[in-house]
Amino acid sequence: MAKVRLPTEDSLNVRAALIGVAAGYIAIFLLTPLIAVFAEALRNGVDGFIQAVSEKDALSAIELTLTVAAIAVPLNCVFGLAAAWAVAKHDFAGKALFVTLIDLPFSVSPVISGLIYVLLFGAQGYLGPALDILGIKVIYTVTGLVLATVFVTFPFVARELIPLMEEQGVSEEEAAISLGADGWQTFWHVTLPNVRWGLLYGVLLCNARAMGEFGAVSVVSGHIRGLTNTMPLHVEILYNEYNFAAAFAVASLLAFLALVTLVLKSVLEWRFAADIAASHRH
């Protein structure tokens, strides 16, 4: 008897072609560059790699990138939670505009976001001279790097949480309040635990972008080695100096951090699958 196909099952040829195209696409556009980064990084051997990433300016770039992420990510975690909570659990005038604004950093080119900061806080900017009197410098400082990174990575947490919170509705919050909980208890015991997985994803993505951001940071940084050079900027400098092996060595560290983020996300998804499903269903 001939094997009967399910109505949604395609013939073997079609399946082979589709899988082939998908696999080829992933191989060319995702896998090859990734392998190339690591291959180039090790071109001068493990010693060359270690030397490149432990050089003084590289170490200070790594430290700066981690510092910027360590400030920007918690800030956006709090801002994103607050924004998502406001949008998903409340009704107010101008909500649609607010939601659009949250997405602004995604739709504006990062270079432009950086330029806006220069325009605002630069020596000739609107707020620059006033802040200068107060002794606050933004452009060409770590402060500027943090501000630009916060701007660019703002939507990640909020975007992750808004659909989830909207799906969950407000009935659990109402239940908590009618049982005598105050606003803080309701948020802490009901709202926040219900979105903890979404929040974690948002934070992981936000972190990956915060460490990898180039455009906006490049504009406000001034590329002062050892002071305002983050890892992506350091990669560019090394590359422009034809120091390819060192450039790829630092780049491979960034790629490695991104891979760790993805693996962490997958492990958490796998480990807590039932728990995550429960936060969607009821």
Partner 1 sequence: MSLRIEHVTKKFGTLAAVDDVSLAIDKGEFMALLGPSGSGKTTLLRIIAGLELMESGALHFDGTDLSAVPARERRVGFVFQNYALFRHMTVARNISFGVDVLPRKRKPKRAEIKTKVEALLARMQLEGLGQRYPNQLSGGQRQRVALARALAIEPRILLLDEPFGALDAKVRKELRAWLRALHDDTRLTTVMVTHDQDEALAIADRVAILNEGRIEQVGTPGELKERPASAFVREFLGVA
- Applying CB under 8 A, the residues found at the interface with partner 1 are 171-172, 174-182, 185, 189-190, 193-194, 196, 275, 277-279, 281-282
Least Cα distance to 152 among 200, 207, 194 occurs for 207
Nearer to partner 1, 192 or 259 (CB): 192
Nearer to partner 1, 166 or 182 (CB): 182
255-58-156-35 Cα dihedral, nearest 10 degrees: -10
Nearer to partner 1, 182 or 241 (CB): 182
Quote the least distance from Cβ 44 to partner 1, whole Å. 51
Half-sphere exposure in the Cβ direction for 68 (13 Å, CA): 35
Nearer to partner 1, 103 or 167 (CB): 167
Whole-angstrom distance, CA of residue 27 vs CA of residue 38: 15
Residues whose CB is less than 8 angstroms from the CB of residue 56 and which lie 6 or more positions away in sequence, other chains included: 226
Quote the least distance from Cβ 65 to partner 1, whole Å. 34
Quote the least distance from Cβ 88 to partner 1, whole Å. 16
Quote the least distance from Cβ 177 to partner 1, whole Å. 5
Quote the least distance from Cβ 95 to partner 1, whole Å. 17
In contact, 68 and 146? CB cutoff 8 Å: yes
Q: Residue 85: count other Cβ atoms within 10 Å of its Cβ.
A: 19
Nearer to partner 1, 43 or 189 (CB): 189
